[in-house]
Amino acid sequence: MTPTFADIEAAAGRIAGRVLRTPAVASDSLSRATGAEIVLKLDNLQATGAFKERGAANRLALLTPDERERGVVAMSAGNHAQAVARHAHLLGVQSTIVMPKFTPATKVTRTAAWGARVVLHGEMLAEAAAHAHHLAETEGLVFIHPYDDPGIIAGQGTLALELLQDVPDLDMLVVPVGGGGLISGCVVAARAINPRIEVLGVEVESYSAMAQRLAGRPVTVGGSTIAEGMAVRDVGELPFAILRDLGVEVLVVPESAIEQGIAMLAEGAKLVAEGAGAAALAAVLHYPDRFAGRRVGLPICGGNIDPRILANTLLRNLLRDGRMLRLVMEMPDRPGMLGDIATRIGNEGGNILEVAHHRLFTSPTVQAAQLEVMIEARDAAHGALIEAKLRQSYIVRRV
């Protein structure tokens, strides 16, 4: 059954006090960087760090007394797992969460901390899902689907309801798409409040299942992605039907745009977002002409990113932007050359981060040496200036 706007309003009443009503914040830095007027909906501030709390809280509140007694089971490798575990705990309902064996230990620990029984099964999410259905049948548990469920969809739609209550004059709403629960709930709410608003979905190239389904093409997905929250092969049938019937377009962005979105949110908006949480901004960055001059709402739908991955993403973005240079130089193997290079870089205001000096095996001749240096610059133009000064006396290549 397709959720209605009345269902979403009812869900908002059920989850009030259990789920944070997150702020909508205009971002001047992102607006200047993109040419659009950007408003961020900060669902990365939820207790478990993601929007999944909305759907889980609403769906569990709809359980009958008999279903509460039986307990619930869910499959997830991340945010849905923690959301179901938390809200089952708040309601005094026993929960079982089936997670793939590859699930990071921190996510397993956080889920178990809410009192859930965690079962690690299978190498892929599909195998974990099959086992969760098996437990539901054999143990009489209520299966809580992460996105293909009217109660879940209605709960997720409260994000758009809150956003448009706070910022009613949005021109566009861009929503990340995994299984489709969030965008299907948001488009129902947004179109009811403002029929003229344009709602767009966004997927990463390696997992563009919804875009392929809407285009009538066979679904082909796979590969690694930093947006693991969107790495879904089998989108929900109910979300698919909602998006198809309402004519929602789903944009597809490359992995590099997701990384750029994460870095821009961290540096410009001072916000930590996971890959899926930065996908809406990635769409604005990758398709700037679609959004120029428009007032655009972007849900930052999750902030659960591994610190090491965040650090690596920020460094990769510095290299991509030209604010960090990795240069390899051929230089004569004689005293004073290393000092000369360091002086030239310092005189131009560059900051040397790392140096590797090779004499024996990497140089083309025994009378030369190779220097690999990592330099921090103010911006791309400053980095290009440093590189040009070094090229006046040395053979330089950027890697």
Q: What is the pLDDT of residue 367?
A: 60
Domain boundary among 269, 288, 316: 316
Q: What is the pLDDT of residue 339?
A: 87
The DSSP bridge partners found for residue 295 are 37
Mean pLDDT of 152-174: 98
Give the pair of three-digit tokens for residue 362: 């990497």
355 forms bridges with which residues in the sheet? 373
Whether residue 144 sits in one domain with residue 47 = no
Provide the pLDDT confidence category of residue 365 given band limits of 50, 70 and 90.
low
User: Computed from CA positions of residues 84, 85, 88, 90, in that sequence, does the dihedral angle turn out positive or negative?
Assistant: negative
Confidence of residue 287 (pLDDT cuts 50, 70, 90): very high
Strands (E), 33-147: 37-41, 72-75, 95-99, 117-120, 142-143
Q: In what order do the strands lie in the sheet with 249-253?
A: 24-26, 37-41, 295-299, 172-176, 198-204, 249-253
Q: Please check whether residues 227 and 281 belong to one and the same domain.
A: yes
When computed from its CA atoms, the radius of gyration of the chain, rounded to whole angstroms, is 25
Q: What is the rounded average pLDDT of the residues 39-61?
A: 97
Beta strands in the chain (DSSP E): 24-26, 37-41, 72-75, 95-99, 117-120, 142-143, 172-176, 198-204, 249-253, 295-299, 324-332, 351-358, 368-376, 395-398
Beta-carbon-side half-sphere exposure of residue 94 (alpha carbons within 13 Å): 10
Within 10 angstroms of residue 139's Cβ, the number of other Cβ atoms is 11
Which helix (H) or strand (E) segment is 86 a member of? helix 79-91
- pLDDT tens for residues 120-129? 998 877 788 8
Task: List the Cα angle 281/206/173 in 5-degree steps.
Answer: 30
The helix (H) or strand (E) run that includes residue 134 is: helix 125-139
Q: What is the rounded CA–CA span in Å between residue 103 and residue 125?
A: 10
Q: What is the C-alpha separation between 299 and 227, in angstroms, rounded?
A: 15
Q: In terms of pLDDT, which residue wins out, 80 or 360?
A: 80
87 shares a domain with 47: no
- 287: domain CATH number is 3.40.50.1100
**What's the rounded Cα separation, in Å, for the pair 102 and 125?**
10
- Which residue, of 100, 133, 150, is where some domain finishes? 150
Indicate if 144 and 236 belong to the same structural domain.
Answer: no
Q: Where are the alpha helices (DSSP H) in 231-378?
A: 237-245, 255-264, 279-286, 288-291, 307-321, 337-347
* Domain identity same for 138 and 160: no
Number of domains making up the chain = 3
Residues 338 and 385 in one domain: yes
> What pLDDT, on a 0 to 100 scale, did the predictor assign at position 362?
53
Same domain, 195 and 251: yes
Between β-strands 351-358 and 368-376, what pairing exists: parallel, antiparallel or unpaired?
Answer: antiparallel
Q: What pLDDT is attached to residue 160? A: 98
| Domain final residue, candidates 273, 296, 316 | 316
Residue 7 has pLDDT above 80, yes or no: yes
In three-state secondary structure terms, 38 is strand
What pLDDT shows up at residue 15?
Answer: 98
- SS3 at position 349: coil
pLDDT at 368 over 90: no
Q: What is the pLDDT of residue 337?
A: 83
Where is pLDDT greater, at 341 or 141? 141
Indicate if 160 and 19 belong to the same structural domain: yes
Domain that holds residue 88: 53-150
Q: Are residues 106 and 199 in the same domain?
A: no
| Mean pLDDT of all residues in 320-346 | 87
Q: What's the CA gap between 51 and 301, in Å, rounded?
A: 5
Same domain, 202 and 252: yes
Q: What is the rounded average pLDDT of the residues 255-278?
A: 96
* Position 62 pLDDT exceeds 90: yes
Percent of the chain exceeding pLDDT 90 equals: 78
Q: Is residue 80 classed as helix, strand or coil in its secondary structure?
A: helix
The predicted model gives 146-154 an average pLDDT of 97
Query: Residue 359: which pLDDT band, with cuts at 50, 70 and 90?
Result: low
- State whether 201 and 275 are in the same domain: yes
**CB contact at 8 A, 241 and 2:** yes
Q: How does pLDDT run across 174-199, given as a tens digit for each residue?
A: 999 999 999 999 999 999 999 999 99
Q: In terms of domains, do 216 and 121 share one?
A: no
Check residue 330 and give its pLDDT: 85
> What pTM value is reported for the model?
0.90
CA distance 182 to 203: 13
